Each structure stands twice: as C-alpha cells, then as structure tokens.
C-alpha cells in the first residue's frame, strides 16, 4: 500500500485586532440649533395695559408648566414701557436678567401670537433700588431706643428725667 501524503491545508484567520479605518469625511458634527438673530420689531401700536395683560398670561403659563424660578422672576418684574415696538422690562439683579433673556424667544413668540402675528422686541433695563429707602432692622434695645428718640424727641427727654439706661 502506498501511503498518501498528508497535505497541510492552511486556514486564514481574520485579523480582529486591527482597527477599522476612520475617515474624517464620515464624521458629521450635528449643527447646533441657532436662535434667530435679533430682528427689528414691527412698529406695533400697543398700550401698556395690553402688554401687562399678556405678561400676566405668560406668567400664569409658566406657573402651569411648573417653572417656578421663571414664574417668580416674571411675577417680580413688570414691563416698564412700550416704545416704537420695543417692550422695556425692568429687573433689579443680574439673575433676573439671565432668566428673562433665557426665555426671551418663547416670550416673543407668545406676544406675537397674542398680537396677531405682529412682532415686538424686548429690552432689559436695570432698575437701581434706592438705598436710602431700605429699612434697617432694629435688633438691640439701644437701636430701638435711638429710632424712637429720632422719631419722637420727647422719648429722649423722658429717658433723661427718669434716669433710664437701655443697657440694663
């Protein structure tokens, strides 16, 4: 018997360790949604009373959505004036302004719907609070007595006659 030689058959194993080729052409960067540029508003003839009513409706809608931070800001800020299609909104601190500007486009859309498609612009105005009108809290008896003496000079005279000392 003649022996048949064994033939080795080679099998190729796919190389799974190599990295696939990546091309920059295949990578797409999603475009960020751009907010519309500041448009010149229509020269809307709207009175302050109408703007106040729409402002209150928008504020109520914020409360209904559960956006409590924005609701509080819109409750504490009011439209100041309407002039040539611009609504000027006053704020007292930068946090209020940032929340107002964050919701600016939504607010403009809401006003546009209520004004039958007419565009109105919004500008924020810083309202500086009068520092002299702030009430000082009276904590100590001495502060309370000083306040009463300034308001009613007879209290000071009574204190002297009776020999009262507020520190006792």
Angle formed at CA 85 by CA 96 and CA 64, multiple of 5 degrees: 45
Print burial letters for 116-152: b (CB count within 10 Å at least 16), e (below 16). eeebbbbebeeeeeeeeeeeeeeeeeeeebeeeeeee
- Asked if 81 and 48 touch (Cβ cutoff 8 Å), the reply is yes
pLDDT digits (tens, 9 = 90+) for 21-65: 655 565 555 555 554 455 555 566 777 888 889 999 999 999 999
> Comparing C-alpha atoms, which of 79, 88, 84 is closest to residue 45?
84
Higher-confidence residue of 72 and 27: namely 72
- State whether residue 71 is helix, strand or coil: helix
Q: How far apart are CA 152 and CA 146, in angstroms?
A: 10
Q: What is the pLDDT of residue 63?
A: 92
Question: DSSP secondary-structure letter at 87?
Answer: E
pLDDT digits (tens, 9 = 90+) for 87-117: 888 888 888 888 888 998 999 899 889 888 8
Q: Per-residue confidence at 124, pLDDT binned at 50, 70, 90?
A: confident
Q: What is the pLDDT of residue 31?
A: 56
Is the pTM for the entire model greater than 0.85? Answer: no
Which domains are present in the chain?
A: 48-129 (3.30.300.180), 135-162 (no CATH)
């Amino acid at each position: 018997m003649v022996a048949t030689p064994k033939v080795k058959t080679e099998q190729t194993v796919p190389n799974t360790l190599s990295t696939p080729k990546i091309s920059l052409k295949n990578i797409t960067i999603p475009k960020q949604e751009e907010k519309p540029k500041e448009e010149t508003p229509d020269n809307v003839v709207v009175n302050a009373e109408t703007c106040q009513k729409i402002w209150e409706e928008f504020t109520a809608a914020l409360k209904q959505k559960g956006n409590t931070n924005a609701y509080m800001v819109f409750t504490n800020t009011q439209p100041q004036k309407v002039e040539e299609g611009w609504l000027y909104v006053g704020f007292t601190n930068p946090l209020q302004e940032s929340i107002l500007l964050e919701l600016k486009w939504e607010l403009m859309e809401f006003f546009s719907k209520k004004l039958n498609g007419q565009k109105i612009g919004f500008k924020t105005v810083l309202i500086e609070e009068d520092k002299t009108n702030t009430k000082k809290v009276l904590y100590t008896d001495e502060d309370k007595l000083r306040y009463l003496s300034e308001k009613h000079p007879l209290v000071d005279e009574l204190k002297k006659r009776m020999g009262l000392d507020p520190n006792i």
